[in-house]
A and B are shown apart, each in its own frame.
Chain A
Amino acid sequence: MSVIYVLIPIAILFVIIGLAVFFWAVRSKQFEDLDKEGFSILFDDNKPQSRSASSDDEQQPPKQ
């Protein structure tokens, strides 16, 4: 059972990474509109020109 001395710290590391990602997501306003982001995957696949139009806003989370 001494393997738990290694495995549990690794699990904690994953938890910390998960929390860090969540905090980043909250800070970049991804939780303000939960409906829109779900839709964004449906759109845009056939229109490459819109990709470049939106890639210049740096603070924005990726939408396309």
Chain B
Amino acid sequence: MTAERCFHCNEPIPGGFNFTLSFDNQQRQFCCAGCQAIADTIISSGLSDYYRFRTEPASRYALPKELADTLAEYDAPDVLADVSVQQGDLTEISLSVTGISCAACAWLIEKQLRQLNTVHQVTVNSATQRCHLIWQADKTPLSVILSKLAAIGYQASPFVADNEEQAFKTELNRFLKRLAVSGIMTMQVMMLAVALYFGDYTGIEASHQGYLRWISLVLTLPVVLYAALPFVQSAWRGIKARQLNMDVPVSLAVYYTFFASAYATVFRTGEVYFESVCMFTFLLQLGKFFEYRARSRARDATSNLLKIMPVAATLLQDNQPQAVSAKRLRAGDVILVKPGETIAADGIIISGNSSADESMLTGEYAAVEKQCGDKVLAGSTNHDGLLQVKVSQPLAASHLGQIIALQQRTLSQKPAVLQKTDQLARYFVERLLVIAVATFALWYFWLDADRAFWITLSVLVATCPCALSLAAPTAVTCALASLNRRGILIKHSTVLDVLPQLTHLVFDKTGTLTEGRFSVAEVKINGSEYSRSDVLNLIANIEQFSEHPIARAFKPYLTVPLPLTETEISVGAGIQTNYNNMLVKIGSSAFCKLSTSSDAMVFLTINEVCIAEIWLQDAVRPEVPSLIARLRTAGYKLVMLTGDNSAQAQQLQQQLQFDLMHKGCTPEQKVMEIEHLVRDGHKVLMLGDGINDNPAFHAAHVSVTLETGSDLSKNQADVLLLQPSIGLLEHLLAESSHAQNVIKQNLYWSAGYNLLIIPLAVAGFVSPYIAVLGMSFSSLLVVSNSLRLLKK
């Protein structure tokens, strides 16, 4: 066998591991005990078809160890009531499932859950990675279901779809139905049109011609009365608001052509254009449908990321821990916060000490030491100590709640983006109407009253804004799809309109420009007994025991496992252990009992002798300096707004030379700074990752966040970069200006075509056949030009 890969997840198998399982009479290798256990469960439950038919490997086993504890929190009745809907004695819930990689996963999950006889209905959607479940919650607790999923390698969490998403879904279904009606009818009417065309050349009995026209009329009725309705509604809304939009000429063309053809059918005169009506409606619907679907996909993907915020808390009642919903905590309650948990409410520590990560709320990257009597904030993460917290205010009034309220308020103040095509449409429609009326008057009163109606029709058909109205949507859809493939999700298509006009780029610091976590900056070794790699390997071995963020900085330096005994953690100070009968300590200078003036953050002593001093820092992302330089050459003004007040902000400013820098910003100040820029007429992009950036997201024209950002940011931002790197920003800017160019070309072409054909049509030289051909040709050209965006 060549390079060994895990049978379950297809990751390479690290050397020295030997996990095997027999399947289909063959020994299969696994990369870890987790993958092996999952495969064992799948095969022994008779679900091995999964391995035979899947098209993608599964995701690697990555479930937290304390899963069972956290799952149990969902069983508390009031927590469950928050995330599910009761239907008689059945409970209905939506789960967002991580790890679904192909359709076979959906099947696997459905089968696994159907084995429980309390499960009434289960449907998995592999496209949106959701699971919809109806079951008897009183007989099987939710935690049992979730751990059943965990056993086959999927991590599921309750999820509440918001109203907006529901609306998206119904709208998408409506689109599908309209597409079907206009598509199928177009085929029928086209077929009849071919017969009519042939009849015109070879001769056709008048009764047959009349019959075919009547049938076409009947078949077109559902298209104009049902499929084309959205255009009329939108046009009507536009007219009511005294703003002509693109849908006005579209509905005008559709209905004028339809009524003219109906008139021709009833009075047996002139020409019929039913097939143009149908095809036009179908093509426009198709364009809109794809654009809508691309956006709703992006939305689904990001709202999956929004896990419900601190769901459960452990309430201490008469010294008995009890799981409750965080929303129902009241001031004065005492909650227990375990290491690694999210703190559920603002409060004061009444026992225990620890450190907390508040970077998502304040932008400060260093962990904050928390002693008895200190304040803690809802939404921050508790690191290494067990805490008892007395709740000082309910969740809605907490610091986190206030940021969310501020964000809701700024949402309505989002700077308006005028859509270019709408502007153009207004200009175009006004003139088109004037020309049509003038043509009619000209022919009716002065030239030839009999031909007036038909010439006006050919003006309208020839100038039918099909190409013009397809120009933007097709280009936007192709650009969205191409960006999507690169790992850039865009939720509002208007974003593409603004991006090329940007003047200011605003960056958050912690977690955006920097990694948002510690890494080793400098190591100073005392003496020559140990080398740098020996020291780092030893520390990495010891830090494996700790959950502290400092410990994670040493993880990449672990090379050789060492035997350690009697390891002991002192919360907030350091770790000591026994290695080869030597007493090893790592931690602060006080913990290592050193009297030193060094400002290093971590010290290592062996038998009370200081061996190494280590400086840690929140490192700048490797791609940032060159990216910033390139953006500056491209002519953008660069701004940094950070909540961090430390010297690191100043240091970064010196290194990267921003045009404007503010440190120690509260979320309100960030909003004010950006609003200031917007008021001065600049177009602003905000790039951030924390909850404290969210209000500013809505103040800016475009907001971008990273995969590593907080769940809430990912849900709120207009654009999500699906890589832990901001290098994609450049690609986003390039692609959007490319898309803008294609839109411009499309608009120039279709406007140019119209300018050419209008005088000819007004003069009565354009026969209706030529008008239809010209219209179809220009639409095709526009669509194929847009498709160029998909390549590369």
Task: Report how far A42 CA is from B169 CA in the complex, Å.
Answer: 28
Q: Contact between A1 and B208 (Cβ–Cβ < 8 Å)?
A: yes
Interface string of A35-52 (1 = CB under 8 A from B): 110111011100100100
What 0/1 readout, one digit per residue, does chain B (203-242) give for beta carbons within 8 Å of chain A? Answer: 0010010011001001100000000000000000000000
Per the bound structure, the CA–CA distance linking A1 and B204 in Å amounts to: 11
Is B127 an interface residue when CB atoms closer than 8 A count as contact? yes
Within 8 A of B (CB), among A26-64: 26-27, 29, 31-36, 38-40, 42-44, 47, 50, 53-54, 56-57, 59-60, 63
Number of chain A residues whose Cβ lies closer than 8 Å to a Cβ of chain B: 35
| Interface SS, B side | helix
Q: Does B451 contact A (CB under 8 A)?
A: no
Bound CA–CA A43/B110 (angstroms): 12
Q: Is the CB of B126 within 8 A of A54?
A: no
* CB neighbors of A among B179-207 (8 A): 180-181, 184-185, 188, 192, 205
Cβ–Cβ contact B102 & A19, under 8 A? no
> Which residue of chain A has its CB nearest to the CB of B115?
A53
Task: Tell me whether chain A's interface is mostly helix, strand or loop, or mixed.
Answer: helix
Once the chains are docked, how many angstroms separate the CA of A18 from the CA of B185? Answer: 11
Given known A32-B127, A36-B125, A57-B120, contact A12–B173 (CB-CB < 8 A): no
Do A47 and B46 have beta carbons less than 8 Å apart? yes
A19 touches B208 (CB 8 A): no
CA distance A1 to B192 in the complex (A): 14
Chain A contacts for B482, CB-based, 8 A: none
Residue A15 is within 8 A (CB to CB) of chain B in the complex: yes
Number of A-B contacts (CB under 8 A): 82
Interface residues on B, range: 35 or more
A11 contacts B by Cβ under 8 Å: yes
Q: Does B666 contact A (CB under 8 A)?
A: no
Q: Mark B96-128, 1 if CB is under 8 A from A, else 0.
A: 000000111011001100110000110111111
- Closest CB in chain A relative to B664 CB, distance in Å: 48
Least distance between B456 CB and chain A CB atoms (Å): 32
**Do the beta carbons of B219 and A36 come within 8 Å of each other?**
no
Interface residue ranges of A7-32 to B (CB < 8 Å): 8, 11-12, 15, 18-19, 22-23, 26-27, 29, 31-32
Is A19 a contact partner of B106 (Cβ separation < 8 A)? no
Contact among A15, A27, A36 with B184 in the assembled complex (CB-CB below 8 Å)? A15
* A33 pairs with B126, CB closer than 8 A: yes
Chain B contacts of A47 at CB under 8 A?
46
Task: Check B103–A4 contact: CB distance below 8 A.
Answer: no
The answer to whether A39 touches B53 (Cβ under 8 A) is yes
- Candidates B46, B103, B184; contact of A39 at CB < 8 Å: B103
Contact A4 B208 (CB under 8 A): yes
Contact A33–B127 (Cβ < 8 Å):
yes
Q: Are A36 and B121 in contact (CB under 8 A)?
A: no
In the bound complex, residues from chain A placing their C-beta under 8 Å from that of B181 are 19
Q: Which residue of chain B lies nearest to A9 when distances are taken between CB atoms in the complex?
A: B215
Cβ B121 vs Cβ A57 within 8 A: yes
Q: Is the CB of B103 within 8 A of A8?
A: no
Which residues of B are found within 8 Å of A50, using beta-carbon distances? 111, 114
B659 at the binding interface (Cβ < 8 Å): no
Residue of A nearest to B114 (CB): A53
> Given the complex of chains A and B, what is the CA–CA distance between A23 and B124 in angstroms?
22
Cβ A43 vs Cβ B126 within 8 A: no
Q: List 14 A-B contacts (CB under 8 A).
A: A4-B211, A15-B185, A19-B180, A26-B173, A29-B123, A33-B127, A35-B106, A36-B106, A38-B103, A39-B107, A42-B53, A43-B107, A56-B120, A60-B123
* Residues of A near any B CB (own CB < 8 A): 1, 4-5, 8, 11-12, 15, 18-19, 22-23, 26-27, 29, 31-36, 38-40, 42-44, 47, 50, 53-54, 56-57, 59-60, 63
